[in-house]
A and B are shown apart, each in its own frame.
Chain A
Amino acid sequence: MPSEMMYAQAMATAITEEMTRDSSVIFYGQNLGMTDRDPLVRKFGKSRVRITPISETAEMGIAVGAAMNGLRPVVELWMSEFMLVAMGQLLNEAPRLRYMSGGQIKVPLVFKAGYGFAAGWAGQHSNCIYHTMMGIPGLKVALPSTPADAKGLMAASIRDDNPVMYLHHYMTMLDKGPVPDGDYVIPFGVADVKRAGSDVTLVATGWMVTKSLAAAETLAKEGISVEVIDPRTIAPLDVDTIVQSVKKTGRLVLVDQAPRHASVSAIIAGEIAEHGFHHLKAPVKMVTALDTSIPYSEPLEKYVLPSEEKIVQAVKSVLGK
């Protein structure tokens, strides 16, 4: 039976359920489990729920070592940009150690953080940096867009035997939706068709799925049928589902909150150029953030980011309208 819950609550539910299921799962981060009244501390104790100093390199590096010695750490990093101060651990330690050891060790861990906070957080706290991680062999990247996906992908991330970047979108945290009760695990590398359609394929992740679905609704009123695909995980990336959709629609619009050249969209466009070119009836269109830092003031921020209107226009343009 599904329960109606918020995205943030769905993530927390998955963490609690996985910690209950598996005593090797630990959870730590800055300003987390600060008092004995904290529900997770009460449930799992101070050994498995820990507060850390502001030390991302150690927080992430310690997760790597703890994973090498038998735990499944989930590290709360709060904002994806905080990982930038420890990029070596993220990109050059966690995903490399298994490979370099010739498969002798595994590094199961989750680096959890929010991203894309389009609410006046300005240049350093509202970015989409996931593109940087999607080309790192050994690292998996999950970008849930709905409460159900937030739960299912968190469970999958914790159970996976590899390092996983789990990035939750700050603008979807309060979204409500049905979330399956009990064991619910979404496999990596399986895209979800969020809305079926026949005229144009729209691919989006995170908050952009919400905006794409809104655009599809508007377009439906004008008789345009849009298929909305959410890859859900960008490493591994389910290219096949997108190719199959393009085969049906012949038109592709890619929506991404990241700047153009640091977007998942650019990667998908490349894959479709190689694997789906002969199905295309029109050039691929990318709706991304402008190539700027994110500005503080609201009208400036809005101007930079993709919007429902920009998506609607892009869909119409690939239809020659």
Chain B
Amino acid sequence: MPKNNKKALGKERLIWMYTQMLRIREFEERVKRTFVEHPGVIRGHTHLADGAEASIVGALATRDESDLAMPSYRCHGYPIVLGTSVKKMMAEIYGRKDGLCQGFGGSMHLADPAHHFPGTSGIIGQAIAHATGAALAAQVKKSGQVIYCFFGDGASKQGAFYESLNMAAVWKLPIVYILENNQYQVYTRVELEDANAAAGDPLSQKAQAFSIPGLTVDGTDPLKVYEAVGKAVKRARAGLGPSLIESKFYRFSAHGNAITVPPVPTQFPEHEAIETYGRKAEYAAARARDPILLFRKKLKSKGVLSESAAKQIEDSVRAELEQAVQFALASPFPSPEEATKYVYA
């Protein structure tokens, strides 16, 4: 697989981006399929990033090696791009000993500090403050790091969002806030809960409250995200402070798997657009603008990606994730008495 080692968007880099998008999609599809193929293997609540691939990859393609990615609990996509083992990720989601966090965290709490992914919070919006703190540490230590803080449209109504952005602006912290507007806050349509959306305005308008740059970008196009985030990162690294980027795309899966009480099995319901709001046309239109399809088309038309190369990437990603699933299924459970480890450092 091509390495994440070049920032200029040459052919190799574009194919790397496309490959990462595909890996995220395949990972999420295999997680989703697990609910059907291996019922009961995934416990609790799982949130998928299908639809967010272009936004995640476009943003993270701008980073320097020591920069940190600090997202919310919808966290599978980022570490895949950062180089985390998808085998360990899948094993964690299956609650196994070989999991990324040895079965202590699960889907919502993946962490891989060795790959610049220090951890996530399952409580909406709270990690915005953590990312801001990581940026404070970068500033105090003069580490040169920029922190990539990812969160959803729903999280932007939390106090942690307002308090953190205010402090980051006052202190000119090296952080980029990437508000992933996937149109639905849990089950609620964004215009029902967000003042800007209700008024027909972009959510990036919130940046004005902190006197920082705010920009809305098409999150289905990795190149547009790359450009917008790249500018914000440059600004942050130069010591000019934070920016807010609203990246607009559509979440293809429901908020999470259905909340059921054991022994009732759980799996992913239909997307809220269909299940709750009866907006089949809206959902179909969003799927027609699948970021992976769009990017593949663009790369093919530019002559960057041949039919055979596309097929080869697909096959290799499929095989990689099949191996991840088999690895996770074969991994043993942790020993129960390990549960008291890691309470204190």
Contacts and interface: CB of A to CB of B under 8 A. Distances in A.
Interface of A: 24, 26, 47-48, 50, 52-53, 55, 57-71, 73, 88-89, 92-93, 97-108, 137-138, 140, 161-162
Contact of A63 (B114, B133, B171): B133
26 contacts: A26-B140, A47-B139, A53-B163, A53-B170, A55-B163, A57-B126, A57-B160, A61-B133, A61-B160, A63-B133, A65-B136, A66-B133, A68-B113, A68-B130, A69-B133, A69-B137, A73-B133, A92-B126, A98-B342, A102-B102, A102-B104, A102-B105, A102-B111, A104-B112, A105-B118, A106-B345
B167 A55 contact: yes
A226 B260 CA distance: 57
Contact of A102 (B101, B127, B130, B164): B101
Contacts of B343: 99, 137-138
B132 A62 contact: yes
Classify chain B's interface size: 35 or more
Majority DSSP secondary structure for residues of A touching B: mixed
B70 to A, nearest CB: 7
A65 B99 contact: no
A50 B113 CA distance: 27
Interface in B87-145: 99-105, 109, 111-114, 118-119, 121, 123, 126-141, 143, 145
Given A58-B160, A58-B167, A61-B128, 8 more contacts: A53-B170, A58-B129, A65-B134, A68-B118, A89-B129, A103-B104, A137-B343, A138-B343
Given A102-B100, A102-B104, A104-B112, A61 B166 contact: no
A163 B242 CA distance: 27
B159 interface: yes
A104 B126 contact: no
Contacts of A52: 167
B81 interface: no
B341 interface: yes
B345 A64 contact: no
Contacts of B143: 70
A101 to B, nearest CB: 4
